Amino acid sequence: MTGPSKFDFRPWLFWDHATEEDRRAQEVHLAGLREVIGLDAAGKVFISPLAAVHTDRLRMGDFCYIAAHAYVTDDVSMGSDCTVNPYAVVRGKVSLGDAVRIGAHTSLLGFNHSTAPDQPVFRQPITSRGIRVGDDVWIGSNVVVLDGVTIGDHAVIGAGSVVTKDVPAWAMMAGNPARPLRDRRHPRPSTTSGDGLEGRLGAFAERAREQAGEVLARCWTGERYVDRPGARPAARAWADAVEIADLLLGGPPPTPAREEIVAFLRDRQDPATGLVPEIGAPGSPEAADGGRPELEGITAYHVLSVGYALDLLGARFEHPIAAVSDLAPEDLLATLDGLDWARNAWTAGSWVDAFGTGLYRNLSDFGVRGANLETLYGWLLTRCRQAHGMWGEPDGDAGWLQVVNGYYRLTRGTFAQFGLPLPYPERAVDTVLAQSRDPRYFGPDTGNACNVLDVIHPLWLTGRQTLHRRAEGEAWARDQLGRALGGWQDGAGLSFALTVGPGETRTPGLQGTEMWLAIIWLLSDYLGLSDTLGYRPRGVHRPEPAIHLPV
Cβ–Cβ under 8 Å, residues 84 and 67: yes
Mapped onto helix, strand or coil, the DSSP state of residue 262 is helix
Q: Are residues 73 and 169 in the same domain?
A: yes
Residues 291 and 230 in one domain: yes
Shared domain for 150 and 47, answered yes or no, is yes
Range of the domain at 122: 6-183
User: Residue 190 gets which letter from DSSP?
Assistant: P
Edge to edge, the sheet with strand 45-47 lists 45-47, 64-66, 83-84, 100-102, 137-139, 156-157, 171-174, 179-183
Where among 271, 294, 319 does a domain terminate?
319
CB 401 within 8 A of CB 529: no
Q: What is the C-alpha separation between 100 and 66, in angstroms, rounded?
A: 12
With beta carbons less than 8 A apart as the criterion, state whether 248 and 314 touch: no
Whether 162 and 270 map to the same domain: the answer is no
Same domain, 11 and 133: yes
Last residue of a domain, one of 267, 295, 319: 319
CA–CA distance, 312 with 511 (Å, rounded to integer): 17
**Single pTM value for the model:** 0.75
* pLDDT for the residue 191: 43
DSSP type of residue 278 = P
Residue 298 located in a structural domain:
yes
- How far CA 436 is from CA of 112, 439, 515, in Å, comes to 41, 8, 18
pLDDT of residue 370: 86
Using H for helix, E for strand and C for coil, what is the string for 125-137?
CEECCCEEECCCE
Residue 134 and residue 250 in one domain: no
Shared domain for 57 and 101, answered yes or no, is: yes
239 and 179 in one domain? no
In a domain, 324, yes or no: no
Residues 6 or more apart whose Cβ sits within 8 Å of residue 460: 522, 525, 526, 543
The pairing of strands 83-84 and 64-66 is parallel
Q: Are residues 135 and 85 in the same domain?
A: yes
Residue at 212 is within a domain: no
Q: Quote the CA–CA distance of 233 and 373 in Å, as a whole number.
A: 34
Element (H, E) at 55: strand 52-60
CB-based burial, 457-471: b 16+ in 10 Å, e otherwise: bbbbbbbbbbbbbbe
Size of the chain, expressed as the number of residues it contains: 551
Question: At what angle are helices 197-218 and 470-485 packed, to 10 degrees?
Answer: 50
Evaluate whether residue 507 is within a structural domain: no
Q: Do 139 and 246 share a domain, yes or no? A: no
- Tens-digit pLDDT profile for the chain (551 aa)? 455 788 999 999 998 899 999 999 999 999 999 988 889 997 899 999 999 999 999 999 999 999 999 999 999 999 999 999 999 999 999 999 999 999 999 999 999 887 777 888 888 888 889 999 999 999 999 999 999 999 999 999 999 999 998 999 999 999 888 888 888 887 654 444 446 898 999 999 999 999 999 999 999 999 999 999 999 999 999 999 999 999 999 999 999 999 999 999 999 999 999 999 999 998 898 887 768 999 999 999 999 999 999 999 999 999 999 999 999 999 999 999 999 999 999 999 999 999 999 999 999 999 998 899 999 999 999 999 999 999 999 988 899 999 999 999 999 999 999 999 999 999 999 999 999 999 999 988 888 999 999 999 999 999 988 989 999 999 999 999 999 999 999 999 999 998 777 788 899 999 999 999 999 999 999 998 998 999 999 999 999 999 887 76
Distance CA 327, CA 340 (A): 19
* CB distance 356 to 380 below 8 Å: no
User: Which burial class, exposed, middle or buried, applies to 362 when counting CB atoms under 10 A from its CB (0-12, 13-18, 19+)?
Assistant: buried
- Number of domains within the chain: 2
Q: Helix, strand, or coil here: 23?
A: helix
Bridge partners (DSSP) listed for residue 76: 58, 94
Greatest Cα pair distance in the chain: 94
Burial 135-150 (b: 16+ CB within 10 A, else e): bbbbbbbbbbbbbbbe
Pair 534, 252: CB distance under 8 Å: no
Residue 352: what pLDDT? Answer: 98
Residue 520 counted as domain residue? no
Domain match, 66 and 169 both: yes
Q: Which of 454, 435, 426 is nearest to 518 (CA)?
A: 454
Among the residues of 274-400, which ranges form H helices? Answer: 297-312, 322-325, 329-338, 345-366, 372-383
**CATH code of the domain covering residue 103:** 2.160.10.10
Distance from C-alpha of 176 to C-alpha of 471, rounded to nearest angstrom: 23
Task: Classify burial at 259, counting beta carbons within 10 Å of its beta carbon; exposed 0-12, middle 13-18, buried 19 or more.
Answer: exposed
Task: Give the three-state DSSP class for 469.
Answer: coil
Contacts of 61 (CB under 8 A, 6+ apart): 42, 43, 45, 78, 79, 80, 81, 82, 98
In a domain, 158, yes or no: yes
Which of these three, 319, 340, 368, is where a domain ends?
A: 319
Calpha distance 459→426 (Å, rounded): 10
Within-domain flag for 350: no
Chain centroid offset of residue 256 CA = 32
How far apart, in Å, do the first and last CA atoms of the chain sit? 51
Q: Is residue 494 part of a domain?
A: no
Residues 290-310: b if buried by 16+ CB within 10 A, e if exposed: eeebebebebbbbbbbbbbbb
Say if residue 245 is in the same domain as residue 159. no
Question: With contact defined as beta carbons under 8 Å apart, do 439 and 446 qualify?
Answer: yes
